[in-house]
Amino acid sequence: MKNLIVASEYRKLKLLQMLFNAPQNYQKKQLASLLHCSIKTLESDIESLQGLIDKDIAYVYENEARYIMLDVGEHVNFAYLYALIISNSHLYLLADDTLRSAEMNLSEWAEQNYSSVPTMYRRIRQIDDYLSECNLVLETRPLAIKGPEVNLRFFYYHIYSKAYPYTEWQFPDIPYETLNQFIIQIEAFYHIRFSLSSRIKYAISLAVALTRIKQDSAFISKKHYLDCWDNITADQPDGATIDYTLLEDIIGCPLSKDERFFTIIMASWSHFTHTSSYFSKARAKHGPNVYAPNHMLASELTGILNQHHTPNTELAITETIDFLFRFTFLDKMNFLPDIPRPQNSPEEIQLRDQIRKILTKYETHTDFRYIRSNKPLIINHLVDIYSILMKQTPPYDTLHIKVISENGHLWEEYLRSEIKKKYSKDQVRLCHDTISHQPKPHIDLIISDFPFYEQPDIEADGLLWNIPPSPTDFAQLDMVLERQKVY
């Protein structure tokens, strides 16, 4: 289980994922077929997982009925097992040793990790292939990972964040509590908010950066980016400040202006939400050379969502711009294999094709040179975002209903309660007007227990119901809602 990036380890992940989400129990032959491997290979994978994972966390076994089962402990999900596997991979162990500047050559490292040198060379070649996709190089005498500083920091951040929470906090000399105090100031200054999980990931990126700074590995920015940052900070509307001494006290030296700027670059590596429009407007105003092209691309990409009547297209644009901002300073990103993706729905397949066509149109433009080398990653990320937004689209246009009874308020409340029992808030909204006989412009439908033959000025549709309502009454409303469906 030491090398996650080879097919055998991905297969083990897929086995765990299948057992987690299995709609039925599987025997060995069925699982081997689904995993495209032999029964012997499957048995070897199960034995490997049994040796790696403590029984209190998870246990894969064959029961008396010859079904392959997975028992998991309390508070254990698939992401936790994924983190466990990452933290036991050669890739993680190598990254951890090289970041901490362990002085050893490959044969010494192989002996320390209980592997023969020939076996380790095979693993190292595979790891080196992965690193080359990150624009990084593995040196073996002594062991070190080399490349552009931003790429190095992102690589280490990605490895450590994927191994969390199983590894817990991996930087004993860099207190998380202090980093969290700094993050709170970043949130207030830029009008953004990190979730708990994103906050931890941001803290990991800060810890990696501080570790690299202590090793005299500096980030150097282009002057025009620093000028843009100066203008953004000068526009801060609340007079807020950021106390960089929180970080400087950890490393025992001042942070350069470039490194202070880098703290906000790393914020985009995890995820944050905007609590106001300040940060977006400030980037548009002071960094038009970056913001304007990304906004143009994001607008065309999110135009796909209009075909699905998706709400919150402005949110989709903001999410897309924030993601594309990563590539301003990081020319090539490469993610570890994530949780095995389920089979895509026809809607997701169509969405993927639409995104790919738009990206292909832009990739030859000088402002979007990053697209070609990162296209699969960008497509996967945007499909995930847009699919979530599409799933939030209610299957019905909300129907605004007014209830009127000839017997007054008590009976109207009764009818409203019966409607609430059967229909969701996404389907119907019950309007409570104090003047019960006067229709309002926002009313789509009036449900009443008496007809409005003498009210020709009422423009809303009407249903004549019984009290209590009959199945036929509800069937009439079902037909109205069917016509309200969004296609």
Mean pLDDT of 25-38: 92
Confirm if 141 and 130 have CB atoms less than 8 A apart.
no
Tokens standing for residue 354: 């639409």
Confirm if 184 and 240 have CB atoms less than 8 A apart.
no
- Which pLDDT score, from 0 to 100, does residue 372 have? 94
Q: 274-333, pLDDT tens digit by residue?
A: 999 999 999 999 999 999 999 999 999 999 998 877 777 889 999 999 999 999 999 888
Nearest to 345 by CA among 390, 299, 397, 300: 390
Q: Please name the residues in contact with 329: beta carbons below 8 A apart, sequence gap of 6 or more.
A: 150, 221, 265
Window from 271-285, 339-353, 425-439 with minimum mean pLDDT: 425-439
Q: Is the pLDDT of residue 31 over 60?
A: yes
Q: Is the pLDDT of residue 33 over 90?
A: yes
Question: How buried is residue 12: exposed, middle or buried, by Cβ count under 10 Å (0-12/13-18/19+)?
Answer: buried
Higher pLDDT, 483 or 392: 483
- Which pLDDT score, from 0 to 100, does residue 439 have? 44
Neighbours of 170 (CB within 10 A): 16
For residues 42 and 166, what is the distance between their CA atoms, to the nearest angstrom?
Answer: 25
Distances, alpha carbon 244 to alpha carbons 181, 188, 272, 442, in Å: 11, 14, 20, 53
The domain 7-75 having CATH identifier 1.10.10.10: the answer here is yes
Q: Is the pLDDT of residue 381 over 60?
A: yes
- Which pLDDT score, from 0 to 100, does residue 454 have? 46
The domain segmentation of the chain, as residue ranges, is: 7-75, 89-147, 156-274, 287-393, 399-483
Between CA 46 and CA 54, with CA 49 as vertex, the angle to 5 degrees is 130
Higher pLDDT, 291 or 4: 291
Q: 211-244, pLDDT tens digit by residue?
A: 999 999 999 999 999 999 999 999 898 888 999 9
For residues 458 and 279, what is the distance between their CA atoms, to the nearest angstrom?
Answer: 47
Please report which confidence band the pLDDT of residue 485 belongs to, taking 50, 70 and 90 as the band edges.
low
Confirm if 395 and 485 have CB atoms less than 8 A apart.
yes
Higher pLDDT, 482 or 229: 229
